[in-house]
């Protein structure tokens, strides 16, 4: 095993990797921008190196600075986390050429899976079913029109270099094609510097189900089951769970074998994820392979008992996998992504200083966070504050536990998506598992417009009463609702939050 590892990331995922290091007895080096000088990942690491000003283009995306930090501290390996440089082929190569171990797949595998069109070509060659569509970028509008008609509307225009839902447009009719093509190309050019766009048939009402794989350096590839990620807004995941209500052990096995075949075809090593659309008939189609650790990896960890980040390090250090080929999930896990966004106002990003934070605990609860009281939430980085993950024996038990944990969670100082998550947990469709990738967009107006859940009303009353009390300069017996008086011992700790 390595003696020292550099974490080329920030926020919750940097903290997550540092935790794995500590459990394996590996010393950790954090890198940070000026904006992150007091961030939790900097404090948690054994050493930390400043790599530049706040904009990520001048810090977290500067490969050379990261390599220099690794050299200066004597780190032997680099873990990229997700986002930033994690899927940049050139960076994987740079790390390797610098004589450091790369905790991720070979640069060649990143390249093979890096473009959606090259991944489709590779998948087709490996006998992996893909969504009907093309593998060549569109030449012009006439080509787009001919292709769309061949597959039949609705179609999805997709950026070949795409990621994060960018450069994607659903087109339902011929008259919308021209404007949508221009928009997809423009977005792709701005986001990826590459305006290649291709066509897929738009599948109505599928689920997003993805398979986690691990591959060692000795040719072993295993699947660790699925994650259900259908709760999406603008093609971005918001809530994930494992297992999926839609899978039987037989289907899990088939999808697992397919993901393993795709990974093998790419010469894959380390942790990776094959994303699929699963339709109502149980047919599934390969979308893409993410050649890194996923945000939602903890749900797999909780139902398999396997620490994926520790295995990433072990694999990078050359250890063989000593796990079975297929792993069946045990119990149920759900993850909510808590972001600094205001669902009541179109998920507008919110900024500010975290003045109070109470993290849920108790049976079956895990918090992977990147903030603490005093943290500043700005606009330089993505809006993920932390992930709340729960485990229970059954799905309904996990939902109840998530509701309980969300009620315990308090983040004051920025708007968060906490209430939105509570509403989803209460929704009958979610509770029944009757969701598709289009469900959230349809349910959203009702989810953000409802009255606050009962617990929130009580808390709002408590807050109002405490504020009134403070303004009066102390308690006035009888002036506040009696429930507040009865609950005062509980709320004392929340007072800071109200200042
Ligand atoms: P990105 O890499 O930008 O995230 P993906 O190819 O992974 O793009 O797709 C993101 C999401 O968009 C999927 O999870 C799914 O919800 C939706 N999607 C992608 N392809 C299709 C398709 N052909 N039909 C319907 N929905 C799709």
Nearest-atom number in ligand 1 for the CA of 116 is 6
Q: Ligand 1: residues whose CB is within 6 Å?
A: 131, 156, 162-166, 200-203, 208, 232, 235, 275, 277, 287-288, 437
Give the pLDDT of residue 384: 97
Give 229 Cα–ligand 1 centroid separation in angstroms: 11
pLDDT for 118-153, tens place per residue? 999 999 999 999 999 999 999 999 999 999 999 999
Give the pLDDT of residue 476: 36
In this structure, what is the dihedral angle of CA atoms 253, 258, 262, 268, given to the nearest 10 degrees? 10
Q: Is residue 399 within 8 Å of residue 431, measured between CB atoms?
A: yes
Give yes or no for residue 457 having a pLDDT over 70. no
Give the pLDDT of residue 482: 33
Within the chain, which residue ranges are assigned CATH 3.40.50.20?
Answer: 4-105
Tokens standing for 209?
Answer: 């189900």
Class of domain 4-105: alpha beta
Per-residue HEC secondary structure of 55-92 comes to CHHHCCCCHHHHHHHHHHHCCCEEECCCCCCCCCHHHH
- Testing ligand 1's pocket by substitution, the residue of 83, 210, 287, 436 carrying the most ligand atoms inside 8 A of its CB is 287
CA-derived radius of gyration, the chain: 24
CA 348 to chain centre: 19
Atom 15 in ligand 1: which residue has the minimum CA distance? 235
If we measure between CA atoms, which residue out of 273, 360, 264 comes closest to residue 308? 273
Strand, coil or helix: 334: strand
Give yes or no for residue 226 having a pLDDT over 50. yes
Give 437 Cα–ligand 1 centroid separation in angstroms: 9
Give yes or no for residue 37 having a pLDDT over 80. yes
Kindly state the average pLDDT of the residues 242-266: 97
User: At 471, is the pLDDT very low, low, confident or very high (cuts 50, 70, 90)?
Assistant: low
Strand, coil or helix: 178: helix
Give 287 Cα–ligand 1 centroid separation in angstroms: 7
Within the chain, which residue ranges are assigned CATH 3.30.1490.20?
Answer: 132-201
Q: Which fold does the domain 132-201 belong to in CATH?
A: Dna Ligase; domain 1 (3.30.1490)
Give the pLDDT of residue 326: 87
CA distance 499 to 497: 6
Within the chain, which residue ranges are assigned CATH 3.30.470.20?
Answer: 207-448
Give the global pTM: 0.89
Give the pLDDT of residue 450: 61
Strand, coil or helix: 353: strand
Give yes or no for residue 467 having a pLDDT over 80. no
Nearest-atom number in ligand 1 for the CA of 437 is 16
Domain 207-448 sits in CATH 3.40.50.620 = no
Catalytic residues: 292
Stretch (H or E) spanning 261: helix 249-265
Atom 2 in ligand 1: which residue has the minimum CA distance? 163
> What are the backbone dihedrals phi and psi of residue 307, each rounded to the nearest 5 degrees, phi first?
-85, 105
pLDDT for 319-371, tens place per residue? 999 999 889 999 999 999 999 999 999 999 999 999 999 999 999 999 999 99
Give 379 Cα–ligand 1 centroid separation in angstroms: 26
Give 165 Cα–ligand 1 centroid separation in angstroms: 7
Give yes or no for residue 60 having a pLDDT over 90. yes
Q: Is residue 223 within 8 Å of residue 211, measured between CB atoms?
A: yes
Q: Which of 158-167, 209-218, 420-429 has the lowest mean pLDDT?
A: 158-167
Give the pLDDT of residue 165: 84
pLDDT for 473-484, tens place per residue? 443 333 333 333
Kindly state the average pLDDT of the residues 252-261: 97
If we measure between CA atoms, which residue out of 83, 76, 87 comes closest to residue 382? 83
User: At 13, is the pLDDT very low, low, confident or very high (cuts 50, 70, 90)?
Assistant: very high
């Amino acid at each position: 095993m390595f003696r020292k590892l550099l974490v080329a990331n920030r926020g919750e995922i940097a903290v997550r990797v540092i935790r794995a290091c500590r459990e394996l007895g590996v010393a950790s080096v954090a890198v940070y921008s000026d904006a992150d000088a007091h961030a939790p990942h900097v404090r948690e690491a054994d050493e930390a190196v400043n790599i530049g000003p706040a904009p990520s283009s001048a810090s977290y995306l500067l490969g050379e600075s990261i390599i220099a930090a690794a050299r200066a501290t004597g780190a032997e390996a680099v873990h990229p986390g997700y986002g930033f440089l994690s899927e940049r082929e050139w960076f994987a190569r740079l790390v390797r050429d610098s004589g450091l171990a790369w905790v991720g797949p070979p640069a060649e595998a990143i390249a093979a899976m890096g473009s959606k069109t090259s991944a489709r070509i590779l998948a087709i060659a490996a006998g992996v079913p893909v969504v009907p569509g093309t593998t060549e970028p569109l030449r012009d509008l006439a080509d787009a029109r001919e292709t769309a008609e061949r597959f039949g509307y609705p179609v999805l225009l997709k950026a070949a270099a795409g990621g994060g839902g960018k450069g994607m447009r659903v087109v339902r009719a011929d008259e919308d094609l021209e404007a949508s093509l221009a928009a997809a190309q423009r977005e792709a050019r701005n986001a990826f510097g590459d305006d290649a766009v291709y066509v897929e048939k738009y599948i109505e009402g599928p689920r997003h189900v993805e398979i986690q794989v691990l591959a060692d350096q000795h040719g072993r590839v295993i699947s660790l089951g699925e994650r259900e990620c259908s709760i999406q807004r603008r093609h971005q995941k918001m809530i994930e769970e494992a297992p999926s209500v839609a899978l039987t052990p037989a289907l899990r096995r088939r999808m697992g074998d397919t993901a393993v075949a795709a990974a093998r075809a790419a010469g894959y090593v380390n942790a990776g994820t094959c994303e699929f659309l699963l339709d109502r008939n149980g047919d599934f189609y390969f979308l893409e392979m993410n050649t890194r650790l996923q945000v939602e990896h903890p749900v797999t960890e909780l139902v398999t008992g396997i620490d994926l980040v520790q295995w990433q390090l072990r694999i990078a250090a050359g250890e063989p996998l000593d796990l079975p080929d297929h792993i069946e999930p045990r119990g149920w896990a759900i993850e909510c992504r808590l972001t600094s966004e205001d669902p009541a106002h179109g998920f507008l990003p919110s900024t500010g200083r975290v003045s109070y934070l109470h993290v849920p605990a108790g049976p079956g609860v895990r918090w992977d966070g990147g903030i603490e009281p005093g943290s500043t939430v700005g606009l330089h980085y993505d809006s993920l504050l932390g992930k709340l993950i729960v485990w229970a024996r059954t799905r309904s038990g996990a939902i109840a536990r998530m509701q309980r944990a969300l009620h315990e969670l308090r983040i004051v100082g920025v708007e968060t998506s906490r209430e939105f998550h509570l509403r989803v947990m209460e929704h009958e469709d979610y509770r029944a598992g009757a969701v598709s990738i289009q469900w959230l967009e349809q349910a959203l107006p009702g989810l953000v417009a409802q009255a606050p859940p009962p617990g929130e009303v009580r808390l709002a009353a408590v807050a109002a009463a405490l504020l009134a009390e403070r303004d009066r300069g102390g308690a006035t017996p009888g002036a506040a609702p009696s429930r507040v008086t009865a609950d005062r011992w509980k709320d004392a700790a929340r007072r800071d939050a109200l200042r």
